Amino acid sequence: MQYRPTEIEPKWQQRWAEARVAEIDVTAPGDKLYMLNMFPYPSGDLHVGHGRNYILGDAVYRYFRMQGRAALNPMGWDAFGLPAENAAIKRGTHPREWTLGNIARMKGQFARWGILYDWSKEIASCEPEYYRWNQWLFLQLYKRGLAYRGTAPVNWCPQDLTVLANEQVVDGRCERCGALVEQRELSQWFLKITEYADRLDAGLDTLEHWPEKVKLMQRNWIGRSLGADVDFPVPILEHSIRVFTTRPDTIFGATFMVLAPEHPDVQKLIGDLPEREEIEAWITTVRNQSALERQEAGKEGRFTGKTAINPFTNEEIPIWLGNFVLPQYGTGAIMSVPAHDQRDFEFAKQYGLSIRAVIRPTNGEPPVDEAFTVKDDSGVIINSGPIDGLTVPKAIERIIEIIQERGLGKGTVRYRLRDWLISRQRYWGTPIPMIYCEKCGLVPVPEDQLPVTLPLDVPFTGREGNPLAKHDVFVNVPCPQCGAPSRRETDTMDTFVDSSWYFLRFITPRDDERIFDSKIVDRWLPVDQYIGGIEHAILHLLYARFITRTLFDMGLLTFEEPFTRLFNQGVITKEGFKDTHGSWVSPAEVKVRDGKPYRGEEELTSEVTKMSKSRMNVVPPDELIAKFGADTERVYTLFIAPPEKEAAWSDEGVIGAYRFLGRVWNMGVAIIAAERKAESPSVQVTRKMHQTIDAVTSRIERFEFNTAISALMELSNTLGEAVQADGGAELRPAYEALLQMLHPFAPHATEELWSMLGNEGFVLTSKWPVADRALMAEDTVVIAVQINGKLRAQVEVAAPPDEQKVMDAVFANDKVRSHVSGKEIVKKIYVPGKLVNLVVR
């Protein structure tokens, strides 16, 4: 009987589905475990690169099931978003149809991979039952002043015709479409994530089981800096200008001040200048530049002709405007210390401003006024009156005290993080539940009128912005307070709002009374194991941590961190081909000659990149499954590389996984057919089995699937030899343990073999084997003998080895004796159980 995966896989998929093996009653007692893969955007067909994420999650899920855990593994759809709308414009389908079609296809794909989800918990964020609670959440945030409408310079994508969050701008471009983002002054909806900056930063320290990399990325994004706000009097203004600095210790070296061109005092400062018009024109230019253009322009400034007073030196220092000072950060004004800050130094050099050193560096060299020195914590402060002689960190502490005593300012903490812009001028999203009334102003939709349903009958032209704004029935509504004709808000929410609490909804997905049941959620959350791509290291995970905290503050949750363990799988890469214009070429058109790729006569370049449709280097799983089966794809995907690392897909490599499963299969058939039966399996087989159980268990726990599978291959090789030698039915227990441990990776084949062996029930519901340490141990130990650090011999000693036994064996060994004869033994080093090193002279 041959291994034919395509014949057995659909059968087992159907049996698992019929038995509803993955469905869980959240109110039933049990040793709970909440597993979660980040819910996907339903973009259509999945490729084997996507598969890695889900296969990995399923393997872990199956393992925990076999460990007896009550494991919940739900799945849903992050179903709102721009691609659906773009597809509607391009192909004339409705975003809803397009989205639901994709969901159906992806569900089928998950099934063919043999992935078990509790579909009774399925949610789709585009359904009113879900987004209703999105709106409810927004209203709670609004009530608490955490959602507000404000005018601010915002990122505008001219391609997608919508605003973007700061987090969605990458290198000055729209994260989605790549268009250059423009700065516009617009009135938009924001969530006050900045109010949680300190808690989001401090909370990172409690996340022991998160990758350091992700925590660091979040920490940098929040950008906490300690420093001081200091007021510099400005004679002409009759008020002071406040600056923020992280280096108050260098205040005696502040020789000028720079304001952002957007600073509110600019007009008053330049009003009387003859060159005023030129300066204003320059300011306009700078303001219209994107952040990227601003930086590329280099450092530029204009002198206001006015001075401020350095409150410590009492000197008059010139006030400049500079394009490198950011209006949104700190106070939009800085004190410049060119001797100790790179940017200030460049600016001072460019405009001939004075430089004064106030720190003597650690190396003791006398400081030079015309040079710049980097931050040096053991440097000593000079020329700075009361703080002279202190080291930098001490001086920072002391000067802040002095600033506060003299009423010049205060110590402050500032964050780089800015409020989260959540309104989008697009159709396919959660309507923001607000109404504009001429009399009452902004009026929230009353909670009992939720959901504000997204109308389906809108035209998709792709022009003139949001189609919702043209839907009269949707837009024109009476004011909930006074009944006067009013206008509904037509902006929709950023889809990251949807995904920042969905993991709570999975517990009680059909509850139409409340967003979730706090009591049950309290038992299941936080998520024990969260799995997803590193691309969400900042956006989604930061927003989810923020929303979780707001719900905590509302008294709905008892925890502040939603995800206990986080795992980020690496992407799968494959070779792709580019033509001379840099466009990707389908591999079907590529012919290889002399080891070089060609399309016709045109020589192509090849590049190994992330698997994606646009790069034409995807491997569709269905073809692979038709040829080798889903189990082969699963085993190969997890075997190819450590799961957190990038992995290169190799079509040739897949065969190795297939052969392995074929060997396991044939071995099973042979064991079932075996008539001979020895008394018991050989010591070698028993020992290997227990060693493998031990290794595979700990490796799965540590997410080292590639070496877990290699350990299973070793056991399979050992058993294969035993079958050749004895073919005995006594190998059954070891073989069954192999099947059990293989089950998370190759669920279909192991179920089939398990039932062929006559077992009742699923492997999935069987109990994970336990290693017997006594049977694992070897009865002899091979000890390496080194002489002067070089391997010279190996001796075998009965286990457990002790020093006396080992040394007796070592000196009885001929090779050792020939090497040490006539030499003096200086030192004997014995590493228990491993080796002996003799140092001779």
In the complex, minimum distance from the CB of residue 166 to RNA, in angstroms, rounded to a whole number? 8
* 803-822 binders of RNA (CB under 7 A): none
416: contact with RNA by CB under 7 A: yes
Taking a C-beta distance cutoff of 8 angstroms, is the pair 265, 398 a contact? no
245: contact with RNA by CB under 7 A: yes
Beta strands in 214-293 (DSSP E): 225-234, 239-245, 256-259
282: contact with RNA by CB under 7 A: no
* 775-804 binders of RNA (CB under 7 A): 782, 784, 786, 788-791, 794
Taking a C-beta distance cutoff of 8 angstroms, is the pair 640, 649 a contact? yes
Among the listed residues 463, 452, 569, 594, the one whose alpha carbon sits nearest the alpha carbon of residue 132: 452
**Residue at token pair 């340490």:** 773
Judged by CB under 7 A, the stretch of 62-70, 213-221, 306-314, 439-447 that binds RNA is 213-221
Among the listed residues 320, 293, 78, the one whose alpha carbon sits nearest the alpha carbon of residue 172: 293
Among 70, 89, 554, 655, binds RNA (CB under 7 A): 655
Among 295, 378, 680, 765, binds RNA (CB under 7 A): 295
Helix H or strand E encompassing 592:
strand 591-593
In the complex, minimum distance from the CB of residue 268 to RNA, in angstroms, rounded to a whole number? 19
- Phi/psi region, residue 208 (left: phi>0; alpha: psi -120 to 50; beta: rest), is alpha
232: contact with RNA by CB under 7 A: no
In the complex, minimum distance from the CB of residue 197 to RNA, in angstroms, rounded to a whole number? 12
Judged by CB under 7 A, the stretch of 129-137, 329-337, 404-412, 581-589 that binds RNA is 329-337
> In Å, how far from its chain's centre is CA 252?
43
Alpha-carbon span 88 to 95, nearest angstrom: 6
- The pair of structure tokens assigned to 118 is 């509790």
Nearer to RNA, 504 or 542 (CB): 542
Query: 735 by DSSP, 3-state: which?
Result: helix
Among 233, 480, 642, 727, binds RNA (CB under 7 A): 642
161: contact with RNA by CB under 7 A: no
Among the listed residues 319, 258, 324, 320, the one whose alpha carbon sits nearest the alpha carbon of residue 286: 324
In the complex, minimum distance from the CB of residue 272 to RNA, in angstroms, rounded to a whole number? 26
Q: Maximum Cα–Cα distance for the chain, whole Å?
A: 110
Taking a C-beta distance cutoff of 8 angstroms, is the pair 316, 309 a contact? yes
* 466-495 binders of RNA (CB under 7 A): none
165: contact with RNA by CB under 7 A: no
In the complex, minimum distance from the CB of residue 566 to RNA, in angstroms, rounded to a whole number? 15
Among 107, 414, 487, 578, binds RNA (CB under 7 A): 414
Strand-pairing partners, residue 72, are 34
324: contact with RNA by CB under 7 A: yes
291: contact with RNA by CB under 7 A: yes
Nearer to RNA, 77 or 628 (CB): 628
Judged by CB under 7 A, the stretch of 505-513, 599-607, 651-659, 735-743 that binds RNA is 651-659
Among the listed residues 555, 484, 487, 546, the one whose alpha carbon sits nearest the alpha carbon of residue 518: 555
* 338-357 binders of RNA (CB under 7 A): 341, 343
Number of residues that bind RNA (CB under 7 A): 81
Among 205, 212, 472, 675, binds RNA (CB under 7 A): 212
x/- string (CB under 7 A) for RNA, residues 527-556? -------x---x------------------
Beta strands in 101-199 (DSSP E): 123-124, 147-157, 162-164, 169-170, 173-174, 182-191
In the complex, minimum distance from the CB of residue 204 to RNA, in angstroms, rounded to a whole number? 14
Q: Is the dihedral of CA 604, 608, 612, 617 positive or negative?
A: positive
Judged by CB under 7 A, the stretch of 243-251, 502-510, 546-554, 617-625 that binds RNA is 243-251
Among 714, 726, 772, 778, binds RNA (CB under 7 A): 714
177: contact with RNA by CB under 7 A: no
Alpha-carbon span 599 to 590, nearest angstrom: 5
Nearer to RNA, 194 or 759 (CB): 194
Among 299, 487, 599, 805, binds RNA (CB under 7 A): 299
Nearer to RNA, 126 or 624 (CB): 624
227: contact with RNA by CB under 7 A: yes
Query: 381 by DSSP, 3-state: which?
Result: strand
Using alpha carbons, list the distances in angstroms from residue 683 to 127, 508, 608, 689, 718. 60, 52, 47, 10, 12
Taking a C-beta distance cutoff of 8 angstroms, is the pair 23, 517 a contact? no
* 573-632 binders of RNA (CB under 7 A): none
Among 277, 278, 646, 803, binds RNA (CB under 7 A): 646
285: contact with RNA by CB under 7 A: no
Residues with Cβ within 8 Å of 136's Cβ and at least 6 positions away in sequence, in order, are 447, 450, 515
In the complex, minimum distance from the CB of residue 643 to RNA, in angstroms, rounded to a whole number? 9
